[in-house]
Structure 1
């Protein structure tokens, strides 16, 4: 295992321990509202601190971008860690056991290492640039589904971007009528990991943040898939409008999404 991936795994497992311990005593978790339909808990902050401390112990000069702490500049900006300490906070708060720790490393602007860890199921998804993707040490691959018929897609509702509700529902309807079924489980990181593992055939969501998608993007790519914006370009890192699937299914998904995008989502 790459030494930096090894540290990411250690950080994710340490954070997972914090999260599981708190999940067993949810009544003691402090919850704050940080925006419309957006929550942060004391556990997000504790898990984040654990990750940052684990990384900084080995790489004190690296830069870090994290959901709660924001951008923490280091002396070496060639190495940038992108962290979501608890992706699926609403699930966590409600006692739904579906959430994950997401950690990615960019080297000179390119995704290089990735970890998504589901502490409830003990599932560790990892990827290193050019080395493939694994689940608990076993190689995983994106399903090379040829058409929407028979496919199961994952998605997330635009709960932070309700101005896009009508466009989203039109896209949902266009895809749903052609697929076997859709899933909305509440963690974009795990949705992307599940695409990489072939558990779902594709994924789309509006307005995600880099910490939601960075690790999952590398997992999907290293598992043989593609990650694009809603027009098939590379604007997803900026817009957060993300599609992840196999190369064959991507064409089908984008074709059915295109008529419903409008100017705001065609990025």
Structure 2
């Protein structure tokens, strides 16, 4: 399994996304989340390519959820348009998110933002932005100017005492990419495996760990069935992780 294949997939998917971008008809799923023709077309392309090349691998994807998930050692986690709401309203920070997990852990990831032409790719051998290596970002002190990537529902579902700046772009995968890049000190989410797996694979080689806010490690295989993370997750460097986590005191359940 190689990153060039994943990057080719993301580029093909991006072309489809750009074809639809700005000309979107929204539909609502049973959970009231938005789906568009681009989501369906891109997911069909990616799943067809993966199944054709790696027929024994499992796949969990947003629009088909657990229909092809399994408990084997090789699993793909695919979000055809991460940030569909942003995409449908014309914001450019949506992403194609393709993650690969081996033996229950994310090991390879591609996050591609077609509207701004930023391709993040990586594995344990290195992480890249448009082909240029990203090194571990300097661990700066946390202060009022520090950016934390957060859900758009932060004000409704969290009680927090974070004194820095909060930013939401509407895409968990994009949030992870910007943390990997060093633009933000961390990211909080309570998403699905297809939102987070690729980003986790990009962040981990750079020393950025993803754990639940209570400190528990993520059990990735328990998410293969398409369930939302059971608790909020924080991705940050070890030196920042406890200080950021301590600022978020309660999760308001849905």
Common fold by TM > 0.5: yes
Mapping of residues 181-200 of structure 1, within 5 Å: 181-200=165-184
For residue 146 of structure 1, what is the aligned residue in structure 2? 141
Report the secondary structure of 2:120's partner residue.
strand
Separation in 1 of the partners of 2:69 and 2:88? Answer: 33
Task: Specify the alignment match of 2:14 in structure 1.
Answer: 16
Counterpart residue number, 1:239: 230
TM-score w.r.t. length of structure 1: 0.84
Question: Which SS does the other structure have where 1:21 is aligned?
Answer: helix
Structure 2 match to 1:52: 47
Aligned partner (choices 199, 204, 210) of residue 216 of structure 1: 199
**Structure 1 or 2: more helix by fraction:** 1
TM-score normalised over the length of structure 2: 0.88
Shift of 1:102: 0.3
Kept in 1: contact 2:61–2:79 (CA 8 A): yes
- Aligned to 2:173, the other structure's residue is in SS state helix
Partners of 1:44 and 1:262 lie apart in 2 by 29
Superposed CA offset, 1:108-165 (max 9, x none):
212121100011111111111x212111122223441232443111111338xxxx92
Distance 1:75 1:156 in 2: 29
Matched ranges for 1:109-124 at <5 A: 109-124=104-119
Indicate if the aligned counterparts of 2:94 and 2:174 stay in contact, CA closer than 8 A: yes
Q: Using a 3 Å threshold, how does the CA distance of structure 1 residues 248 and 149 change in structure 2: closer, same or farther?
A: farther
Taking structure 1 as reference, are residues 226 and 76 closer, same or farther at Cα in structure 2, changes over 3 Å only? closer
Say which SS state the counterpart of residue 71 (structure 1) adopts: coil
Aligned match of 1:137:
131
Q: Structure 1 pair 114/93, CA: closer, same or farther in 2 (3 Å)?
A: same
- Which sections of structure 2, spanning at least 5 residues, go unmatched? 221-228
RMSD value, Cα: 2.4
Shift of 1:191: 0.4
Counterpart in the other structure of 2:224: none
Aligned position for 1:82? 77
Structure whose alpha-carbon radius of gyration is higher: 1
Alignment partner of 1:247: what SS?
Answer: coil
How many aligned positions are there? Answer: 245
Instruction: Give secondary structure in 2 for the equivalent of 1:208.
Output: coil
The equivalent residue for 1:254 is 245
Runs of 4+ displaced beyond 3 Å = 72-76, 235-238, 262-265
User: What 5-or-longer segments of structure 1 have no aligned partner?
Assistant: none
Match in the other structure for 1:64: 59
Q: Specify whether residues 74 and 151 from structure 1 end up closer, same or farther in structure 2 by C-alpha distance, changes over 3 A only.
A: closer
